[in-house]
Structure 1
Amino acid sequence: MKVLLLFPPSWHPSQPYLSLPSLTAFLRQNGVSDVIQRDLNIELLDILLTEKTCREFYQKILDKLKYLDRPGSPCRDIPGEQEKRQVLIHAVETIPAFAKKVEPAKNTLRSEGFYDLKRYMESVSIINEALGMLSALYYPSSMTALNNDMRYSVYSSREIFQALDDEEENIFLNLYQDYILASILEFSPKVLGISVTSTSQIIPGLTLAKLIKDRDKGIHITIGGSVFTKLIENIKNVHGLFSIVDSFIVFEGEHALLELIGQLDGKRDFRKVPNLIYRDSNGVRVNEPFFAEDLNRLPTPDFDGLPLKLYYAPASILPVQTSRGCYYRKCAFCNLHLDHRNFRLRRPELLLEDIHVLSQKYHTPYFFFTDESVPVNQLREISQGILKNQWEIRWMGGVRFENALSRDVLEKMYESGCRKLVFGLESSNQRILDLMKKGINVDVVKRILGDCLKTGISFHLYVIIGFPTETEKEALETLDFVLNKDYLNSPGFSCLPSLYGMEKDSPITQNPAAHGLRSIMAPSGEDLGLGYFYEVEQGMSPEEAERMYHYVISRLSEKLCPFPYNYSLSDGLLYITHRRHALPF
């Protein structure tokens, strides 16, 4: 049976995402040999960012301008159309110069020129500005290498369905038709899986699903990923989704997808497919209890078929997982733990085998552990295993500020190739940390960051501005903490603030009053909403928090260049390693 797995735009173009390689490996291990995986995000970027495509868009934009300026056109007197016209004129004036620059910019990022910071920044700027100019054809929609923006809300099924047929503003509708659709239909898969792990992929993913379903209703289209895992109850009430998608796989997908393929090739009894949401004559069904994979029975991810040479980096940085779920699961603001039913570890010897096999097969020493947070014992075992085998590996991953993360552990990690750690600091104020239920102590934070500086491990800090009851003074305290000159002067330091948003199913929503909230409200019209509005009893209001957030961003930008470390964590790993010494791959 032919199976096609797709990863739609938009996502960071530096490295592949782990979902498709994990599924592909499992299917191939279990006898599904005719499976192809495609990263449409990087494929489309590579198509768009050529001189040929830029010139094609240039002509289309000229034609649109002629249409808007035709005699008797009512567009001349409509304010919104005049704004569109100005954007199109600017694109026509700009595209010819960018058309000659886009391919050299891509080549710079894929070569040693990547490590020249000036050339790196110029190339990133050229790519994003060029994409902005090309997307003028679909104004007010726009796109960059990392994201896409449309006036349609991804939290409203009504607006999503409007976007799917909007040839004027849906950037991806014509892109798929012109460059992608024919190859999918020619392959003629029996099962087509689409991974949607970010809200920026919702409209691109569903647009693709509708185009395929309109042309071949015999293809079973299933969508998986963390976004729709958080929307199980919502999916049950939005029946229109099942006119373009046959099923959704929520939580983990290896066994679910394998069983779905088996049922489509046999009795078609979808009740036997774990984690599946589908519609039958009795309505929408959700197959429970939900199934969680045994990580120690899963194969090493398989990246074969993905165009590793197309990613915007001179070497492959491969994602791997040491665990699934979050071992802590208590942070009041977080719903990431909902992506997996429970916390499970992969045995260190299997993880070390993953690293060795992938390193040899894909000729790279670079790895990114994508866990929510890697437990300290796992870090210790990984480090000892790499050192014992004398492998030249360079890696980074997310961790918590645990007291067990001692100087000795950090030194072993550095020796094994750890060059950067990603921490969720959120706040440097102990009251706020306690209210968030972070379970960390500011003194421990300072000790660990100090030890990182001494051992040579760089670090990234995530910060949240505007957690309920936080005052301006407390937010500024966190700002002062991250502007520590020792941190700012350390190679590879990065910090990314985010504005607090109340996420669906986060613990704070279960007891708002305990967190100083007067009320929480679901936004009207958002039947696929992932968050809430809220009112506070004390501290900064949401509006005040937003102003503080912009102030924090501006202060950080004065002290900290976003490139490459804030722009891309994986790019930063390459930069850190290159600054110290190159590896032999």
Structure 2
Amino acid sequence: MKTLLIFPAQWYPTQPYLSTPYLTSYLRAKGWEVDQRDFNIASYDHFLSAPLLKNAENLMAEKLKSLKSQGFLTIKEKSHLDVLSMGLKFSDRIITGVEEAKSVLRTPERFFDFPSYQQADMVIKSALKLVSDAHAPSVLSLSTFESGTRAEESTRKAHETTRDKETNPFIHLYKDILIPGENWQEYDVVGISIIGISQIIPGLTLARLLKEQFPHLHITLGGPIFSVNAEQLIGHPEFFDDFCHSIVTFEGEEPLHRLLTALKAGDSLATVPNLIHLDGRQVVHNKERVELRFEEIPGPTFDGLPMKNYLSPYPIIPVLQSRGCYWGKCTFCTHSFVYGHRYGKQKTQGMVDELEALMKKYNTKYFTFSDEAVSPHSLNDVSELMIERGVEISSLALLKFEKVMDEKLFAKMKKAGFKFLMFGLESANDRVLALIDKGTTKEVEKDVLNKSHKAGIWNHSFLFFGFPT
């Protein structure tokens, strides 16, 4: 029983995501044979290449010719004609420069030369604009993929869009390039991790193609998208006809282990926790739910992922000091659908040991602490131990504003290698902060940002607008 875990497009192409590395590590520890692939960075690598950009250029030329042949154009069609004309005006220059642009983003000396970076960034974004214009109204960028028809919100539209070659660039990419690059007969189970809205159409397109072409495969989907929308799939057996045989909700480590065990033994899928599946023509969400303690889960492995292919000058390794959120009260937040409602964190020594091991294995000092929010206590202890042991990293982390964050903490974090902090500010209005149960105030936010800034750390704040009050 061999499994392939895939992280599909579209997600940020600067570093791997943690879902398949954790799942791979856990399943291997249970004795299963597992491989993992990052189809997200593979997708970017191919979209940002001369062959696929030439294909986009040809599609744009055909659409432009068709529009020009029409006797009457709507305002929308005239606008699209102008967009196509402008894109084709510069397409040759973009296509010629795209490999050079990727090289700049992957080479430290060139990445940190601002004129070189600026030019490369412009070429990369312009190249993705060509792909978007060729498949309008879909939009592909470094930060999103949108169908333009809200197909992400409807099983019926997803059925249509995953078959629409005109608007879905992933059909050609998967069918003609990425799928032929794997020996699918080698595998029994394929797991596809869909963690964000921008992955829905690309991920489901891949799932549909695999299900159609390789009927021996058991296709299972997972990720918070399905945890959030689990009940909406009840009564829709056609979704399973199209895309998969099962869906894992919430944390996937133990459910995937139990799924493989059931499949190998020929047992009913009703025995697998956290699972949605078909029983005849009825969609069933198994009642048993499993959440592991964080200390029961081995650290992630990035073996099998193309660490040198990400669009970054150095390998950047995501890590978790904790799983879940120590606050867990924000009224707008759906992140409990990722980890359930359990919070757990690594021991300080284990965290620093993991950082050291990853530094040596992947020859990098660059990390992202991808926790929902690293607690002040953990930041203090991890920073202290890294300084004591001489572990030199360069990292960013996500934080929640806390009154206890003082000058000593940020000075210690700066010395330990935390260069960039991302805060969930959300609002600077005390009334709104109380309504969203953020557990902080405007004055605390201001004070914390000032102290972090004075320590020499870069600050980034997440904001949102229009919270219903």
Give the AA of the match of 1:166.
Answer: D
Deviation, 1:60, is: 4.5
Instruction: Please point out which of 139, 147, 155 is paired with 2:144.
Output: 147
Structure 1: 5+ residue stretches without partners: 470-585
User: Paired residue for 1:232?
Assistant: 230
CA contact (8 A) 1:369 1:397 kept: yes
User: Paired residue for 2:259?
Assistant: 260
CA contact (8 A) 2:53 2:130 kept: no
Give the AA of the match of 2:99.
Answer: E
CA contact (8 A) 2:136 2:167 kept: yes
User: Paired residue for 1:125?
Assistant: 122
Give the AA of the match of 2:120.
Answer: S
| Mapped partners of 2:350, 2:317: distance in 1 | 16
Percent identity for Structure 1 against Structure 2: 35
Deviation, 1:108, is: 0.6
Deviations 1:157-201 (A, max 9, x none): 121111111121112111211211212454542111111111011
| Mapped partners of 1:278, 1:137: distance in 2 | 37
Deviation, 1:345, is: 1.5
Deviation, 1:81, is: 5.7
Q: CA RMSD in A?
A: 2.0
DSSP 3-state at the match of 2:397: strand
User: Paired residue for 2:462?
Assistant: 462
Instruction: Please point out which of 207, 210, 214 is paired with 1:209.
Output: 207
Deviations 1:47-90 (A, max 9, x none): 12223433344345445556667xxx7x5545466655554444
User: Paired residue for 2:44?
Assistant: 45
User: Paired residue for 1:530?
Assistant: none
DSSP 3-state at the match of 2:276: strand
Give the AA of the match of 2:181.
Answer: S
Please give the TM-score of this superposition, normalised by the length of structure 2. 0.93
Deviations 1:521-554 (A, max 9, x none): xxxxxxxxxxxxxxxxxxxxxxxxxxxxxxxxxx
Q: Superposition pairs for residues 102-121 of structure 1, below 5 Å?
A: 102-111=98-107, 112-121=109-118
User: Paired residue for 2:292?
Assistant: 293
| Mapped partners of 1:31, 1:411: distance in 2 | 44
CA contact (8 A) 1:425 1:461 kept: yes
Measured at CA, do residues 383 and 10 of structure 1 come closer, stay the same or move farther in structure 2, by a change above 3 Å? same
Deviations 1:265-317 (A, max 9, x none): 11232122221111112722212332112211222211111111111111111
Deviations 1:244-280 (A, max 9, x none): 2111111111111122112211123212222111111
User: Paired residue for 1:546?
Assistant: none
Asked if 1:442 is matched to 2:435, the reply is no
User: Paired residue for 1:370?
Assistant: 370
User: Paired residue for 2:88?
Assistant: 92
User: Paired residue for 1:276?
Assistant: 275
DSSP 3-state at the match of 1:419: strand
| Mapped partners of 1:51, 1:266: distance in 2 | 47
Q: Superposition pairs for residues 364-443 of structure 1, below 5 Å?
A: 364-443=364-443
Query: What number of residue pairs does the alignment pair up?
Result: 464
Is the deviation greater in 113-122 or in 373-382? 113-122
| Mapped partners of 1:157, 1:309: distance in 2 | 36
Instruction: Please point out which of 112, 131, 134 is paired with 1:134.
Output: 131
| Mapped partners of 2:446, 2:65: distance in 1 | 62
CA contact (8 A) 2:56 2:130 kept: no
| Mapped partners of 1:182, 1:9: distance in 2 | 17
| Mapped partners of 2:328, 2:218: distance in 1 | 35
Measured at CA, do residues 442 and 60 of structure 1 come closer, stay the same or move farther in structure 2, by a change above 3 Å? closer
User: Paired residue for 1:541?
Assistant: none
Deviation, 1:372, is: 0.9
Give the AA of the match of 1:358.
Answer: L
| Mapped partners of 2:411, 2:82: distance in 1 | 57
User: Paired residue for 2:308?
Assistant: 309
Measured at CA, do residues 134 and 155 of structure 1 come closer, stay the same or move farther in structure 2, by a change above 3 Å? closer
Is the deviation greater in 332-341 or in 296-305? 332-341
DSSP 3-state at the match of 1:207: helix
Deviations 1:476-506 (A, max 9, x none): xxxxxxxxxxxxxxxxxxxxxxxxxxxxxxx
Deviations 1:342-400 (A, max 9, x none): 21112222222221111110011111111111112211221122122111112221111
Deviations 1:543-567 (A, max 9, x none): xxxxxxxxxxxxxxxxxxxxxxxxx
DSSP 3-state at the match of 1:180: helix
Measured at CA, do residues 459 and 233 of structure 1 come closer, stay the same or move farther in structure 2, by a change above 3 Å? same
| Mapped partners of 2:298, 2:387: distance in 1 | 23
| Mapped partners of 2:309, 2:50: distance in 1 | 16
| Mapped partners of 1:379, 1:225: distance in 2 | 28
CA contact (8 A) 2:137 2:147 kept: yes
CA contact (8 A) 1:324 1:371 kept: yes
CA contact (8 A) 1:91 1:134 kept: no
DSSP 3-state at the match of 1:309: coil
Instruction: Please point out which of 183, 186, 196 is paired with 2:181.
Output: 183
Deviation, 1:20, is: 0.9
CA contact (8 A) 1:94 1:133 kept: no
| Mapped partners of 1:87, 1:96: distance in 2 | 16
User: Paired residue for 2:156?
Assistant: 158
User: Paired residue for 1:335?
Assistant: 334
CA contact (8 A) 1:38 1:306 kept: yes
CA contact (8 A) 1:84 1:140 kept: no
Q: Superposition pairs for residues 546-565 of structure 1, below 5 Å?
A: none
Give the AA of the match of 1:386.
Answer: M
Structure 2: 5+ residue stretches without partners: none
